[in-house]
A = this chain, B = another copy of it.
Amino acid sequence: MLHPFQSGLTLLFERRPGPGFALELRLPLGAAHDPAGQEGTAAVLEEWLHKGAGNLDARALADAFDDLGLRRGGSVTHESTRFSVSGLRSDFPRALTLLADVVRRPHLQDGELTSVLDLARQDLESLADSPADQLAVRLRELAFARPYAHPVSGTLAGIAAITPETARAFHSRYGSRGAALAVVGDFEEQVVHDLVTVHFGDWQGGGQELPAVIFQGDFVRHQPDDSQQTHINVLFRSPGPTEPGWLAFHVALGALAGGSASRLFEEVREKRGLAYSVGASVHVTGRDGFVWAYAGSTPGRAAQTLDVLLNEFARLRQGVTSEEFERARTQLLAATVFAAETARGRASALTRDWLTLGAVRALGEVRRDLEALTLADVNELLAERPFERPAVMSLGQGAVLRNGAHALA
Contact = CB atoms under 8 A, between A and B. Distances in A.
Contacts of A88: 333-334, 337
B129 A63 contact: no
Interface string A85-98: 01110000000000
A142 interface: no
A228 B129 contact: yes
Contact of A20 (B260, B323, B327, B338): B338
A68 interface: yes
A290 interface: no
Interface stretch (A119-127, A188-196, A384-392): A119-127
B261 A327 contact: no
Contacts of A332: 69
A269 interface: yes
A230 B260 CA distance: 37
Given A131-B129, A276-B123, A334-B88, A66 B342 contact: no
Stoichiometry, as copies per complex, reads 2
Interface of A is mostly: helix
A331 interface: yes
Interface residues of A, number: 61
Given A123-B276, A259-B65, A58 B229 contact: no
Given A259-B62, A270-B58, A273-B118, A341 B338 contact: no
Contact of A125 (B19, B86, B127, B228): B228
Contacts of A123: 276
Contact of A330 (B69, B119, B132): B69
Nearest to A18: B341
Nearest to A114: B273
Contacts of A288: none
A286 interface: no
Interface in A240-276: 258-262, 266, 269-270, 273, 275-276
Interface in A208-238: 227-229
A73 to B, nearest CB: 12
A261 B62 contact: yes
A61 B192 CA distance: 47
A115 B273 contact: yes
Interface in A68-90: 68-71, 86-88
Contacts of A125: 228-229, 298
A234 B273 CA distance: 37
Contact of A62 (B65, B67, B118, B260): B260
A409 interface: no
A28 interface: no
Given A66-B331, A128-B227, A130-B130, 18 more contacts: A18-B341, A20-B341, A50-B260, A59-B266, A62-B259, A62-B260, A63-B327, A65-B260, A66-B258, A67-B326, A68-B330, A69-B330, A70-B334, A71-B338, A88-B334, A119-B276, A122-B229, A341-B341
